[in-house]
Amino acid sequence: MLTLERLRADHAETLLAFERENREYFARTVPDRGDTYFEPEGFAARHAALLAEQDAGICHFHVVLDDEGRLVGRINLLDVEDGSAELGYRVGESAAGKGVATAAVAQLCRLAATAYALTSLVARTTLDNLASQAVLKRNAFTAAGDVEIGGKPGIRYRRALGADARKGLS
């Protein structure tokens, strides 16, 4: 069973190792974060900034741990406002294709509705990222329009949560 843990300061070293290990893999489908992101000082500053955003309630960041407690992904709720947030996630190459992203998104949708009292989520993915589209569809997200992501065509998805989802609102 997967575990989601809210991002903490002590996740920094393990998270940096995860990001470095998967840098090339992630760059196949999303824009690379640049060399500074992967340098210890740059990463530490970014990690501290994320924790400050989380403390302010702007975002909710989580790491995804496998059955053995290894970090295999991250999943986040960004730009929380008016009961909604944008969902973002990434799963490392060693865990890809094993249902990790689908399970993590399902867990975070439940958490978003209960712990964070959100009523809807949005997500975006590029047209060529069929795996991400499948994850969103398996978790009751529906297409809500075209977008551009890093200069590439994409799709915006939306999902109602809680009472809104039970009423069939979107």
| Distance between CA atoms of residues 125 and 137, nearest Å | 12
Which residue has better confidence, 150 or 154?
154
8 Å CB contact between 63 and 15:
yes
pLDDT at 152: 87
- Specify the CATH number for 3-166; select among 3.90.1490.10, 3.90.228.20, 3.40.630.30, 3.30.450.20: 3.40.630.30
> Mean of the pLDDT values across residues 38-65?
95
Give the per-residue pLDDT at 164: 56
Residue 163: the pLDDT is 63
pTM: predicted TM-score of the whole model, two decimal places: 0.91
Using alpha carbons only, how large is the chain's radius of gyration in Å?
A: 16
Render 123-138 in DSSP notation, one character per residue. EEEETT-HHHHHHHHH
- Tell me the sheet residues that pair with 60: 77
The answer on pLDDT for 166 being more than 60 is no
Distance CA 111, CA 38 (A): 29
For the record, the structure tokens of 155 come out as: 């799709």
The percentage of the chain sitting over the pLDDT mark of 90, rounded to a whole number, equals 80
**pLDDT > 80? residue 170:** no
- End-to-end distance of the chain based on CA atoms, in angstroms? 30
Task: Indicate if the pLDDT at residue 70 is higher than 70.
Answer: yes
Mean pLDDT across the stretch 148-159?
A: 93
What does the pLDDT average to over 15-41?
Answer: 88
Average pLDDT over residues 127-137: 94
Which one has a higher pLDDT value, 12 or 35? 12
pLDDT exceeds cutoff 80 at 26 = yes
pLDDT at res. 169 = 43
Q: Which residue has the higher pLDDT, 35 or 113?
A: 113
Every domain of the chain and the residues it spans: 3-166
What pLDDT shows up at residue 168? 46
Mean pLDDT taken over the chain: 92
